[in-house]
Amino acid sequence: MKYTNLGRTGLQVSIVALGCGNFGGIGSAPAFFGKGESEEEAFALMNAAWEMGINFFDTADAYGGGRSETYIGKWLQSKGAAVRDQIIISSKVFNPVGDGPNDRGLSRRHIFRQVEASLKRLGIERLDMYLIHEPDPTTPLEETLQALDDLIRQGKIHYIGASNMPAWLTAKALWISDKYNLQRFEWVQNSYSLLERHDDQELLPLCADQHLGYTPFSPLAGGWLTGKYKSAQDFPPGSRMTLRPEPYAKLLNPSTFEALESFRQQANERNISMGGLALAWVMSNPLVTAPIIGPRKIDHFQPVHEALTIELTQSDRQFLTDLFPGF
């Protein structure tokens, strides 16, 4: 495993991160709380990630209704200080954690309450990385950034970032931090893959200009780039398309399946899985810090092993990109 700086910070993170969004649920959706990976299954996945050298675990306060953070906390406790001190924990705030009007968002009140709740579940004294899970149109950005700055000064968190952020709002946040001498977002975490390349247009150039890290989630597009979906009527039981298909509904068209077939041929020629090649494509972008993978079984780590051993040239990368026009 290789390690790299998170943006312009001195924090060293593995070039692949473990996404823990399916621990105890399927993301933040209350309908799936208690589902997803059990505590035992989550432990097995974290063990496998640690053995690979992955030191960057990504979670959120609302994942599994708090179960994700709780499982991570129990795993850290079982491993002791030798492991606990090496793991970089990233968590997020925004999504609902209750039924009340103030149980969500990015207000100062909610952020302060949720940091404490996350630290308690994780069993740690401070969070290495803390992100806003998405923008909050009901709270001034200045209030959010001031609250995060105060938490850094209090020693509760070390670095702050932003997820699901458009370029214009990221630029605005950086300007506010500069104007008021506040800690700034040091990285962005958006969806990015061969089937989701909107950030190439504005966000990634901004990251390059401002020396921001970039830790994309869904590098395999919810499993689409692994080849598991061969037609609009053939979704494996328990797959993301049977549980939470909404983010990927736009892919249900003949052109997507045609492009995937061409991509399958390219993977076969390189003697690598489709997932391994898709992940290698993401990692070949010099602006990508570390893609976040969400394995649900131990054998789902295989594409990571493959991606770590293949180097794509710029021409390779462009050729694979051109297989998916319009994304």
- Active site positions, annotated: 63
CA distances from 258 to 44, 149, 261, 282 (A): 36, 48, 5, 21
